[in-house]
Amino acid sequence: MDPFSAATPYDAIQQVAKFLNCKPTSAKVARFLDEHDDLRHLREQFVIPKVSQLPPSDLALVDGSEDCLYFVGNSLGLQPKLARKYLEEELDKWEQMGVHGHTVGSRPWAWAEDNIEQLMANVVGAKREEVALMNGLTVNLHLLLLSFYKPTTERHRILLEDKAFPSDHYAVESQISLRGFDPEKSMLLMSPRKGEQTLRTKDILHTIEKEGDSIAVILFSGVQYYTGQFFDMAAITEAGQAKGCYVGFDCAHAAGNVDLRLHDWGVDFACWCSYKYVNSGAGGLAGAYIHEKHAHTIKPALTGWWGHNLKTRFQMDNKMDLLPGVGGFRLSNQPILLVCPLQASLEVFNMTSMKALRKKSLLLTGYLEYLIKHYYSKDETNPQKPYVDIITPSNLEERGCQLSLSFSVPIRAIFQEMEKRGVACDMREPNVLRIAPAPLYNSFSDVHRLINTIGASLQASNELQ
């Protein structure tokens, strides 16, 4: 049997349990799923920290020699094993040949990022010429908005989530102010309905239809950082463009997580960091995308040497030969020491496909959801029992790998107890844990161990009160 072909994660878990003649919550199910996971070998491409290596671990409570439970790839992905090798190659090159490293070797510094742009384009569903690797996410967002946001007295608003990531909010706020408009009037913020945690697609589309004539740019997350909601990017793009708006996305939590189709969906522009699901290391080289339809019409507001055609760049005649599309938005040469770990990770992605990763991710996160609901749903007969609400959408098509868990009790003590037991995850006050099983390196057994650890942490934190 192939559990990865089941209609839903629930069906897969039930089928495996029946086949093994065990309970769906048994560790045997996790082991079976791992054994039948065609992507399990990819975990070997990453360095998994040991429990003893995590600073908060309490070795009186847990075996320090075990792999830690790393569920925080939504914040910082794990290190690809080849990252160190590639970095050392470039350090050796610098040591041994100095300036000649700009044009010599497998990744000449003067155009090293060019060698991996196709790999990055594959991850986000774009053409190579639609992608540039440069800067950090917010720098790229500013550069893109400088060109796509052209406010007029009639069309000056930017539509975004009310709880967008702070950096996006600040970027939009400052771009509006830069053009002489009032952010209070020009920022159109969308909030979920009262009593709900996530935005309904039909509400987003209704707002676009109703307010679209005054909206210059729509800027949404691909995947919302707090709730884990995967927005219907295709529908939002189509609706926005039908009203004459440019549509862009911050794909920080989407790139490497969900199966993006930026080109096919007709998205106007996008940007993303690469240190989360793309595993390039803290502060890694970011990405930017502009659809090819804008290659000769949308120009950068700010230009630099690296936006000049490579064939004539070194003629030094100060006559700009601007690259078309997003390539022309590049300002400076990219740091080779940031290219190396990104290359190491993208080569792992190239061993599979985003379609295959997404298939595993749906079952992996679905398995986590199943176990959370089994053990930690609200028990009306036992009101004292702590429970967990999952605020991430239950619809598989409306989420990536992250589940945001809202606890009925204060979370800090539970989080600390989990950290003592070798879990790396993410806490958001007052009561939310973000758990992100990454299909590149997380296993079904990781998820099963996590559930047991949550139980032990709940018990320990209760005893401390």
Q: How many residues does the chain have?
A: 465
pLDDT at 462: 75
Q: DSSP letters of 103-123?
A: TSSSS-GGGGGGGGHHHHHHH
pLDDT at 222: 98
What's the rounded Cα separation, in Å, for the pair 299 and 286?
20
Residue 464 pLDDT > 60: no
Strand ranges inside 386-441, DSSP E: 388-390, 403-407, 423-424, 426-428, 432-435
pLDDT at 264: 98
Residue 463 pLDDT > 70: no
Nearest to 453 by CA among 400, 376, 401: 376
pLDDT at 33: 98
pLDDT at 383: 85
What's the rounded Cα separation, in Å, for the pair 71 and 87?
26
Asked if 73 and 331 touch (Cβ cutoff 8 Å), the reply is no
Residue 181 pLDDT > 90: yes
State pLDDT tens for residues 365-395. Answer: 999 999 999 999 998 888 888 899 999 999 9
pLDDT at 430: 79
State pLDDT tens for residues 197-216. Answer: 999 999 999 999 999 999 99
Asked if 140 and 288 touch (Cβ cutoff 8 Å), the reply is yes
Mean pLDDT for the stretch of residues 76-100: 98
Q: Both ends of the chain: CA-CA distance in Å?
A: 47
What's the rounded Cα separation, in Å, for the pair 237 and 156?
18
In this structure, what is the dihedral angle of CA atoms 407, 191, 438, 410, given to the nearest 10 degrees? -20
User: Which residues does residue 221 pair with via DSSP β-bridges, in sequence order?
Assistant: 250
Residue 433 pLDDT > 90: yes
State pLDDT tens for residues 295-308. Answer: 999 999 999 999 99
pLDDT at 204: 98
State pLDDT tens for residues 307-363. Answer: 999 999 999 999 999 999 999 999 999 999 999 999 999 999 999 999 999 999 999
Residue 141 pLDDT > 60: yes
Strand 215-221: give its sheet, edge to edge.
131-133, 287-290, 269-272, 246-250, 215-221, 157-161, 187-190
State pLDDT tens for residues 143-155. Answer: 999 999 999 999 9
Asked if 193 and 132 touch (Cβ cutoff 8 Å), the reply is no
Mean pLDDT for the stretch of residues 423-445: 94
pLDDT at 384: 85
Mean pLDDT score of the chain = 96
